């Protein structure tokens, strides 16, 4: 009867061991799954931030283009303004000349 008891005790210990190994494995699988989920979230977050960085870079390039275009327009407008000032001065001189001519004509016609 003693051998049977020892065999029964050994089987019992083996069952307990198997159970604890199962428990450990389940725990490990669960924590591994959690780690995979965390890693996936991190990777997605990383790719999202890379996407946002790319978008920001594209926006900066567009703004830079707009600024350069504005500078160009301002330069052209400054040149046009200078030309207009010259034309205004020329017109003013002509007006002065014509009024002095008018005076001379009036004087002659008297």
Residue found under tokens 């500078």: 71
Task: Give the predicted TM-score (pTM) of the model.
Answer: 0.45
Give per-residue pLDDT as tens, 92-108.
Answer: 999 999 988 888 888 88
Task: Give the burial string for 81-100 (b: 16+ CB within 10 Å, else e).
Answer: eeeeeeeeeeeeeeeeeeee
Task: Give the burial string for 44-57 (b: 16+ CB within 10 Å, else e).
Answer: eeeeeeeeeeeeee
Whether residue 3 has pLDDT greater than 60: no
How does the average pLDDT of the chain come out, rounded? Answer: 87
Give per-residue pLDDT as tens, 31-58.
Answer: 888 998 999 888 888 888 888 889 999 9
């Amino acid at each position: 009867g003693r051998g049977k008891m020892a065999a029964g005790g050994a089987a019992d210990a083996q069952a307990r061991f198997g159970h604890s190994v199962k428990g450990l494995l389940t725990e490990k699988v669960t924590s591994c799954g959690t780690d995979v989920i965390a890693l996936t979230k991190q990777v997605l977050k990383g790719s999202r931030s890379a996407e946002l960085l790319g978008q920001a870079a594209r926006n900066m390039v567009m703004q830079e283009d707009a600024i350069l275009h504005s500078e160009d327009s301002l330069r052209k407008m400054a040149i046009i303004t200078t030309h207009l000032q010259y034309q205004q001065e020329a017109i003013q001189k002509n007006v002065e000349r014509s009024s002095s001519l008018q005076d001379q004509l009036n004087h002659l016609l008297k």
